[in-house]
Structure 1
Amino acid sequence: MLALNLKRARAQRGLSISELSRRSKIGKATLSQLESGTGNPTIETVFSLSRVLEVPISDLLDARPPAGLRVVRAQEVEVLSGEGVDLRPLQRIESGGGVFEVYDQQVRAGERRDSLGHVGVEHTIVQAGRLGVRVEGHDVELGPGDYVGFDATLPHGYTALDGTVRSVLLLQYRADQRLPPDAPHPVAGGCAPHTEA
């Protein structure tokens, strides 16, 4: 799904692979692999693409889920790993034109994950462990049952303070941050026209 959704988002923004590479600081070869379906993205790659393309992460990763009962088994979800963190996407919820993404987040023991920021509002509820959270230079420490929420466009980071931290991550996006479902798909083998922002 990432290959199709990335091409669609890039085409909608009118960006060439070269321009997307420049803005996201991701190599052209890596982007080409992702668009051909042969790449294996990290959390950092997906968050960077979300930030530059200004779309929810699930607009890049997900197909639209079927209606009705949905059970997500831990062993059936592909883990998105990166610097210090493993994310398992569990559910995309659409409501009032906005989007909410639910993730099982694990910050590995003694490690830190930093983000330059991305689209949306970030909500985290700690389930187990002690989590250090830094948002634009402000530090807080969370324990089991504690919650933090912040504007995800701000630079932020998570640190597992003593052992692995398990938490629920909820990303919230406004309706105007979504990739329209009728956005044009790029022509096979073609490239979107280059435009400057």
Structure 2
Amino acid sequence: MEADESVRDVLAANLRRVRTARNLSLSGLSRLSKIGKATLSQLESGAGNPTIETVFSLSRALEVPISSLLDQPHGGGLTVVRAADVEVLRGDGVDLRALRGIATGDTVVEVYDQQVRSRQESPGHAGTEHAVVQAGRLRVRVGDHEVELGPGDYVGFDARLSHTYVAVEGPVRSVLLLHHTAGDRVGDAPRPHVAG
């Protein structure tokens, strides 16, 4: 993202583009996302204050990867994302910096710098979620399974399952990857597999 373009501006342009491509009115998107029409209007005008929860709701409702809403197109063979140039998207207990969406064919990998401050719950979303803890201790609950991770530890799971991140020793810094393929939908998800 360019230093002079905020996450609000990028979200506004992308949200309007995706919504109109889906032939959805603001009222229709409001019904699907359970976000008020006035709030959606503010987001599309760049005046809103988006949270992680809002962006995830829009992603689910529009059935697009989060990067479709937060990424700017990148050109050339080298992409550099400076920490100071990426605005933090805040949630109840997590701060995310969207670094890059990488599309290859029908596959998208979204790369985030994640800081878990307290507790963040997700009802589930399309794709596979991967996290590598860089600092702190992180408790991850996926469905009925719970695991605690430390620096260097990895977890991966079907993101359609409800999941929770909790900072045990925090704040916890991690790299978060979301992997999507065409046709990924929230719905009946398989049970999580936990390796020792």
TM-score, length-scaled by structure 1 = 0.83
Moved more, 34-43 or 88-97: 88-97
Question: 2: distance between equivalents of 1:19 and 1:154?
Answer: 26
Moved more, 3-12 or 115-124: 3-12
Alpha-carbon spacing, 1:27–1:62, altered in 2? closer, same or farther (3 Å): same
- Note if 1:40 corresponds to 2:36: no
Q: 4+ residue runs of structure 1 moved beyond 6 angstroms?
A: none
Tell me the alpha carbon deviations over residues 11-55 of structure 1, each in whole angstroms, 9 at most, x when there is no partner.
233332223222222111110101112112000000111111110
Unaligned residue ranges in structure 1 (runs of 5+): 178-197
Question: 1: distance between equivalents of 2:145 and 2:24?
Answer: 35
Amino acid at match of 1:6: L
- Tell me how many residue pairs correspond in the alignment: 175
Aligned-residue sequence identity (percent) comes to 69
Give me the CA root mean square deviation: 1.4
Question: 2: distance between equivalents of 1:9 and 1:63?
Answer: 13
Cα contact 1:131–1:141 (8 A) shared by 2? yes
Q: In the TM superposition, what are the counterparts of 1:15-164 in structure 2 within 5 Å?
A: 15-108=24-117, 111-164=118-171
Cα contact 1:50–1:119 (8 A) shared by 2? no
Amino acid at match of 2:146: D
SS in 1 for 2:177: strand
Amino acid at match of 1:65: H
Q: Which has the higher contact order (CA 8 A, sep 6+)?
A: 1
Tell me the alpha carbon deviations over residues 84-107 of structure 1, each in whole angstroms, 9 at most, x when there is no partner.
111111122122331111111000
Cα contact 1:51–1:117 (8 A) shared by 2? no
